[in-house]
Structure 1
Amino acid sequence: MKQDTTATDAGNKARMVDIAREAGVSLATVDRVLNGRDGVNAGTASRVQAVVQRLNYAPNLAASQLSRGRVLQFDIVLPAGGNTFIRDLGEAVLAAERDFNAFGVKPRRHLIEGFDPDALAEALRRIGRGSDGVGFIALDHPAVREAVAELAAAGVPVATMVSDLPQSARIGYVGVDNRAAGRTAGDLMGRFLAGRKGEVGLIAGSLAYRGHEEREAGFRSVLRERFPNLTVPALVEGHDSVEQSATVTARLLDAHPGLIGLYNIGGGNRGVAEVLRRRPADAPHLVYIGHELTPHTRRFLIDGVMDAAINQNPRAEAAETLRLLLGHHTRPGPAEPAAPVRIEIFTRENLP
């Protein structure tokens, strides 16, 4: 007797008809289960999903979306303000529509108040009601975690970007390892200062961002382990604002004369640089390290105001977030882990 190997032979790709036959259901039932639609009892859905996994079914994403004329609306929620990296990230989200158009994906960008967890939670609920998936830069707060749980319970996948919200119902995180980024900054600071003894100031956007908190922890840990000659007298928050970052930088220089290093954990690099340019006598040999390669930080590196920029690629993060959300709709089972985002280091000598 010849064995039927239509769906299981190596090199053969399982089809919806194979799943229907193996599970003993109609094609319409398989379609409803694969696309998360109502009308299938739990036992039948479980049987179909078991066959999907056993046959390693991989749908033709473009064909399945376009054949139905279905559009997946993905909403990316970003903090408003003058942060150049966030602006570039938002533009990358909109530009990614060209690459994801074949999959029936339509991305939308939303700008909201970035440092108010209650406002962020309410925005997630409001935007999520009409969305097929939400990506956002997370504030680590119970109100935000609860909003994510509500969206997940309603079947709306949520992905975090740039700054994570672990122990939440999000399907994945897209961004650099922020603790490693902070350790990298600490290593660079210690090497650039080459045994000098003194104080290094820290400027964060907000420690409500877990990513900023992790960068601070990584930076301090490297100084404790390998550069005990360097101490951190204070950490101030500039809220990723050019104006506020300039104000807190000036206060740091006033409160700690002789400061030999500055690490800007978040945004607002223009504000920090403006103060250092305006007051060169207060910091004649100060090492300044920040994040993200933008037209502004590129100029600061070339001019010698900034010594190093630790970068993450906004285009890669936008695309990976959309891919992660798309996978929720097109792949059975748990979300596929997001591809890691590389940490890049730029100085004036290796600018692209």
Structure 2
Amino acid sequence: MAEAAGVSLATVDRVLNTRPGVRKATIEKVRQAVESLNYQPDVFAAGLAKKSAYRLHFLIPNGPNAFMEDLTREAKAHAVSMSGARMQVHVEPIDAFDGHRVTGTLAILDKSVCDGVAVVAPAFPEVRAAIDRLQDRGVPVVTLVSDHPVSERQHFVGIDNMAAGRTAGRLLGRFLPKHPAKIGLIAGSLGLRDHADRFAGLREVIETEYPHLQLLKVREGRDDNERNEDLIRKLLAEHPDLAGVYNIGAGNRGAISALTESGRAKDIVFVGHELTPYTRQALQSEIMDAVIAQDPGHEIRSAIRILKALCDGVPIIDDQERIGIDIFLKDNLPTEA
């Protein structure tokens, strides 16, 4: 990196660790070298001498949600792999639809048991208050996947869900015919910030750019496969002219089952979220038309890096922690691991 920037190793060290005494032009040279080499600093090495261990708690929803299962699996894998780097990662299952229980879990945490918390935070006022109280007790909190921006949380780790919803609107608008048509909507709950933001983004695009498309009332299935299967069956029965479906949250397996059973799957444009074994198969069989996805591994790694940076009082590298939005069709599915 020093060679690429045309500076000394000592100068690179000062820039990467935000130490004074470096000219702006030199800082810019080092930053350009960082970008060109795709350098990712070891955020763990600097803190090893500062404390015996970093105790991080991840509060992740349980239940039959394939994406949250992936998120939990990634967190548990990092708990094992990072034990040698003095990282203790504990995963606590929560019910994201029960604000009082999430509040209770946050209430029992303090600096005696953890150094940082990442939580998939439902948008209930009691959860906001619990996050604020935990911050007041000296424990840094980041929200994960679903944000709570009015809280005192220090960072959000996840995609821009408004942009994800606008993306869904654009896909539906382009895939559906130019004449009037109906789109059925399913969410886990609009009480979840990520679901509410996706719906707002979708509505913005459809109403302004595809006004011939009618958005039906959002039906909430709590990300449950059986409930979503029942909701899709009812949508199909009540709207024989249904042209599109957007599943804002999880529970795709149930929606896929109902559409397959109906025999109308290939006549309906279906857009959903997260690449799982079920959505992958649905794309391959043309039951789903597009999947908007985020990388759970990146999100867990990012949350760990950010919490450690907050514990150490060092800057967060925003470009490294930006979570991208992926769009998968039948034609660009990644190779299965």
Under TM normalisation by the shorter chain, which class is it?
0.7 to 0.9
Q: Relative to structure 1, is the Cα distance of residues 195 and 72 closer, same or farther in structure 2, using a 3 angstrom cutoff?
A: same
Mapped contact 2:61–2:68 kept (Cα < 8 A): yes
Residue in structure 2 matched with residue 11 of structure 1 by the alignment: 11
Where structure 2 has 5 or more consecutive residues not aligned to the other structure, the ranges are 1-8, 23-40
Shift in Å, 1:216: 0.3
Question: Secondary structure of the equivalent of 1:341?
Answer: coil
Q: How many residues align?
A: 303
Q: Which moved more, 1:65-74 or 1:157-166?
A: 65-74
Asked if 1:311 corresponds to 2:293, the answer is: yes
Question: Secondary structure of the equivalent of 1:234?
Answer: strand
Q: Which moved more, 1:63-72 or 1:158-167?
A: 63-72
Mapped contact 1:128–1:134 kept (Cα < 8 A): no
Larger gyration radius, structure 1 or structure 2: 1
| RMSD of Structure 2 on Structure 1 (CA) | 2.4
Asked if 1:119 corresponds to 2:101, the answer is: yes
Shift in Å, 1:248: 1.2
Residue in structure 2 matched with residue 223 of structure 1 by the alignment: 206
Listed as ranges, the matches of 1:231-310 within 5 Å are 231-281=214-264, 285-310=267-292
Asked if 1:144 corresponds to 2:127, the answer is: yes
Residue in structure 2 matched with residue 170 of structure 1 by the alignment: 153
* Aligned equivalents of 1:160, 1:343: Cα separation in 2: 18
Mapped contact 1:161–1:317 kept (Cα < 8 A): yes
Match of 2:171 among 169, 184, 188: 188
Asked if 1:345 corresponds to 2:327, the answer is: yes
* Aligned equivalents of 2:239, 2:215: Cα separation in 1: 11
Instruction: Provide the identity percentage.
Output: 37
* Aligned equivalents of 1:64, 1:291: Cα separation in 2: 37
Residue in structure 2 matched with residue 42 of structure 1 by the alignment: none
Counterpart residue type for residue 150 of structure 2: Q
1:116-158, Cα deviation, whole Å (9 max, x unpaired): 1111111112244611111011111210111111111111010
Q: Relative to structure 1, is the Cα distance of residues 12 and 178 closer, same or farther in structure 2, using a 3 angstrom cutoff?
A: closer
Shift in Å, 1:178: 0.2
Mapped contact 2:128–2:148 kept (Cα < 8 A): yes
Mapped contact 1:65–1:103 kept (Cα < 8 A): no
Shift in Å, 1:317: 0.3
Where structure 1 has 5 or more consecutive residues not aligned to the other structure, the ranges are 1-8, 15-51
Mapped contact 1:66–1:102 kept (Cα < 8 A): no
TM-score, with length taken from structure 1:
0.80
* Aligned equivalents of 1:137, 1:310: Cα separation in 2: 19
* Aligned equivalents of 1:182, 1:69: Cα separation in 2: 42
